[in-house]
Chain A
Amino acid sequence: MKANPYLPSLAIIEGVKEEVEGNRAIKTFRLAFQDDKKKNFSFIPGQCVMISLFGSGECMFAISSSPTQKDYIEVSVMKHGKVTSALHKLEKGDTLGVRGPYGNNFDVEGWKKRNLIFIGGGIGQAPLRSVINYILDNREDYGNIDIIYGARTSADLCYKDEFVELEKRNDVKAHLSIDVDEEHWEKYVGFVPDNLLEVNPAPENAIAITCGPPIMIHYVIQNLLKLGFKEEQIYTTLEMRMKCGIGICGRCNIGNLYVCKDGPVFSYDQLKELQGDI
């Protein structure tokens, strides 16, 4: 008999990092499985986990750490509901339930030797961080890397100190932006899709991966097509409300596909064919 898919494994919070403050606060939780058997929890960037806070409920999150990091997994959580607000009150040493990994993944094998352009907005950077860190740990397998990332204000940017480190490297280019100008901001001011046109990446031998708010994704895809990217060179992730995470409770369908099981990663040519309420 297969394992009970609804039973979470226990994980201890090893650290909490405050990424963004305010009423749309974001925190990154580092989780280590309590049970030794789970130490070899394996996943591929793009996959998700169901996180339980017992008594408050469950939520699905993209894993934001890289699978090359074996000792823990990380999830970045924006506070905007009952479960996420309760999660934000937790501290190092507290216990959570984790089940997964769920869903499909970014094709990191198939993307070897290609130039990669990551285009993220806000909390949408979480799944991209997983791929980016994976690729940086296997740097020689991939071509050029551009990371285009923006948020409303500089305070809303996630992973700020990691970007400081990225900017020091010469084997990746980071292009940060904020929506409206601020004092002391010397990088791009404007929306992420416009910054994409500014960076103007070449489509040859490239793959573009974009995650963020739906409206941003919409314009990013339009601009990528303008730059000459083909539909099958563009990837994104979809979000839906989820409960079971395993294609049974019925809630996350788009047409005949379940985002929890058949997604969350879709290429734009697949996405265009999808007929359903998104």
Chain B
Amino acid sequence: MENAIISKEKLPELFTQIIAKNKLFAPVKENGFSLFKEVEKASEIDTSYVNTRVPPKSIIFKQTETLFHFTPGKKGNVEKIPEENEKIVIYAIRTCDAKAFALLDPVFIGDFEDPYYSARRRNSVLIGLSCNNPGPACFCTSFDDSPASIEYVDILFTDLGYKYYIEGNSEIGKKFLEDHKTLFDAASGEDQKSRDKVEREAIGKIKRTMKLTGIVEKLDGMFDHPIWYESARKCIGCGTCTYLCPTCHCFDMQDESTLNKGARIRVWDSCMYPEYTHHASGHNPRPARMNRVRNRVYHKFNYFPKNTEVFGCTGCSRCIEYCSANIDIIEIINKIGEVKE
């Protein structure tokens, strides 16, 4: 089964079926903002959102995670933790956040394999929900993606009002549709047309453009340009832009222990903090905010493309929406494009 329709009344039943066999993560509202959480019943899910504040990368690459346990001290010992192998379904992920996994995969599963990330990633099915009302700063189209791209998800749902249009992408996605087919109806040509119309309208709502042509090469020659001082002047170094970015993957590792038990924990970290690169000798290669803002921009628009041939940004707009100082990465990149060489 590839394309199908599900009426909204049948949706709770679909979730009940999913929950019976999987951990289901979906957007819920808490204290007025949306976030992905594990849900136990369909009624908890609330898809009336543009995007969640914290990206769903937190499901696969957890904000804090125990790597292993140990006996602390000079007669130490190591104790592995069991591998997680529960099946995960992530429902209503936006295409920008789903793409972020495609960008993170080569980082976590490359020369070395991060077993925590890779186990959850292998066990997860991504069900996308087309973004019918992109936010004011969204710019996924600048990367030739669309708010209704199917490329990075296993299954894509598109809201057509009283029903959803469903497309299966990967083998996993098609099998998933097969498994739940009693809930679906075949999609008609009309349905297909409505879906495409919804997508066109959504694209039309995206107002901002990041000009990316030639930016990798342009940045090669801009490392010492005064623009970095100017761009970083307002930055207060809060780290929000990196914590909320779906493609940021920096982490710290810390030992936590009592007298006879301990664990090595990893936690999200941010390259926007001076401590991040501070050497024990006292030297800091990125001592000023200028160095750190520059590194964030280069990482996404120069280093990432050099290492994996894609930009390390999906246009999700979180770093723009939530920056405490109104720093706007689209403006920075477009300004760089305009600098005369």
Partners in one complex: yes
A76-98 Cβ-contact flags toward B at 8 Å (1 or 0): 00001100100001110011110
**Please, which residue of chain A has its CB at the minimum distance from the CB of B250?**
A250
Interface of B is mostly: mixed
- Indicate if the CB atoms of B108 and A80 lie closer than 8 Å: no
**Please, which residue of chain A has its CB at the minimum distance from the CB of B292?**
A277
User: Which residue of A8, A57, A248, A253 contacts B303 across the interface (Cβ within 8 Å)?
Assistant: A253
**CB contact list, A40-73 vs B, under 8 A:** 52-59
**CB contact list, B56-73 vs A, under 8 A:** 67-68, 70-73
User: Which residue of B68, B71, B281 contacts A7 across the interface (Cβ within 8 Å)?
Assistant: B68
- Indicate if the CB atoms of A54 and B280 lie closer than 8 Å: no
- Indicate if the CB atoms of B251 and A249 lie closer than 8 Å: yes
**CB contact list, B105-120 vs A, under 8 A:** 107-108, 110-115
- Indicate if the CB atoms of A57 and B72 lie closer than 8 Å: no
Contacts A241-B277, A261-B111 known; A6 to B74 CB distance under 8 Å? no
A236-272 Cβ-contact flags toward B at 8 Å (1 or 0): 0001110110111111011110000100000000000
**Please, which residue of chain A has its CB at the minimum distance from the CB of B279?**
A241
Task: Check if A278 is an interface residue, CB within 8 A of chain B.
Answer: yes
Q: How many A-B residue pairs have CB under 8 A?
A: 137
Task: Check if A214 is an interface residue, CB within 8 A of chain B.
Answer: yes
- Indicate if the CB atoms of B251 and A244 lie closer than 8 Å: yes
- Indicate if the CB atoms of A7 and B279 lie closer than 8 Å: no
Task: Check if B326 is an interface residue, CB within 8 A of chain A.
Answer: no
Task: Check if B181 is an interface residue, CB within 8 A of chain A.
Answer: no
Contacts of A59 in B (CB 8 A): 280
Contacts A240-B279, A241-B279 known; A246 to B74 CB distance under 8 Å? no
For the complex, give the distance between the alpha carbons of A58 and B113 in Å.
Answer: 19
Interface of A is mostly: loop
For the complex, give the distance between the alpha carbons of A244 and B108 in Å.
Answer: 11
Contacts of B76 in A (CB 8 A): 10, 52-55, 95-97
Per CB-CB distance, the 10 closest pairs between chain A and chain B, nearest first, are A55-B72, A81-B280, A54-B76, A256-B303, A94-B74, A250-B250, A246-B112, A277-B285, A54-B70, A55-B257
Known A249-B250, A250-B249, A251-B271; further 7 A-B contacts with Cβ < 8 A: A1-B115, A10-B76, A54-B71, A57-B253, A96-B76, A241-B277, A255-B303
Q: A residues touching B (Cβ–Cβ < 8 Å)?
A: 1-2, 4-8, 10, 52-59, 80-81, 84, 89-91, 94-97, 214, 239-241, 243-244, 246-251, 253-256, 261, 275-278
20 A-B pairs (CB sep. < 8 Å): A6-B68, A6-B115, A7-B80, A10-B78, A53-B76, A54-B70, A54-B264, A57-B253, A95-B77, A97-B70, A240-B277, A240-B279, A248-B251, A249-B249, A255-B298, A255-B303, A256-B306, A275-B223, A277-B277, A278-B285
